């Protein structure tokens, strides 16, 4: 588990909010984030940069590698038995064949007036963009493919 300052966690969430609507491109590599010209993400690249930019947490690229990283350095949150998810927790999904991890999203937090916990994710077809998804909807839509939710940051005030 990595300890981060509340201010850095807030900056990370603000960064993620600014990515909303940007294009999804599977396998995209954003080597020059510092230029501010990032126009597209894939799911794992968004996670990798979000955690590195303000919290200085180096997470590997690729959703499977990130899942393994979280199993080593994080704490699993047992949803829905324990709805104790918090912003910056990571949710993982298996591929359609249930053989490997194929997607990762970030818990953004409660959003009003929508209500409920929202994820921010770079999601492919038919959406092909960085978008918000209600966690409850994700759990219904992908129930059988749900691989876990992990907390890797402890936010300190």
Task: Specify the DSSP element, H or E, that contains 120.
Answer: strand 117-123
pLDDT, residue 18, reads: 87
What pTM was computed for the model?
Answer: 0.86
Nearest-angstrom CA–CA distance, 128 and 109:
22
Which tens digit of pLDDT belongs to each residue from 104-126? 999 998 776 666 788 888 877 76
Residue 31 predicted with pLDDT over 60: no
Q: Which domain holds residue 71?
A: 2-30+39-156
pLDDT, residue 120, reads: 86
Mean per-residue pLDDT for 91-108? 91
In the chain, % helix, strand, coil (3-state, to 5) comes to 30, 30, 40
Higher pLDDT, 37 or 87: 87
Higher pLDDT, 13 or 157: 13
Residue 32 predicted with pLDDT over 90: no
Compute the mean pLDDT over every residue in the chain, rounded to the nearest whole number: 84
What's the CATH code of the domain at 77?
3.90.1720.10
Instruction: Provide the domain count of the chain.
Output: 1
Nearest-angstrom CA–CA distance, 155 and 153:
6
């Amino acid at each position: 588990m990595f300890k981060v300052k509340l201010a850095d966690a807030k900056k990370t969430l603000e960064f993620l909010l600014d990515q909303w609507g940007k294009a999804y491109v599977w396998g995209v590599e954003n080597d020059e984030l510092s230029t501010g010209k990032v126009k597209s993400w894939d799911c794992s690249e968004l996670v990798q940069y979000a955690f590195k930019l303000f919290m200085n947490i180096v997470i590997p690229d690729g959703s499977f590698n990130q899942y393994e990283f979280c199993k080593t350095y994080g704490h699993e949150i047992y949803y829905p038995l324990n709805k104790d998810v918090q912003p910056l927790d990571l949710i993982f999904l298996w591929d359609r064949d249930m053989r490997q991890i194929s997607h990762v999203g970030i818990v953004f937090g409660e959003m009003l007036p929508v209500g409920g916990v929202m994820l921010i994710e770079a999601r492919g077809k038919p959406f092909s963009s960085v978008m918000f998804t209600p966690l409850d909807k994700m759990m219904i839509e992908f129930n059988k493919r749900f691989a876990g939710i992990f907390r890797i940051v402890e936010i300190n005030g």
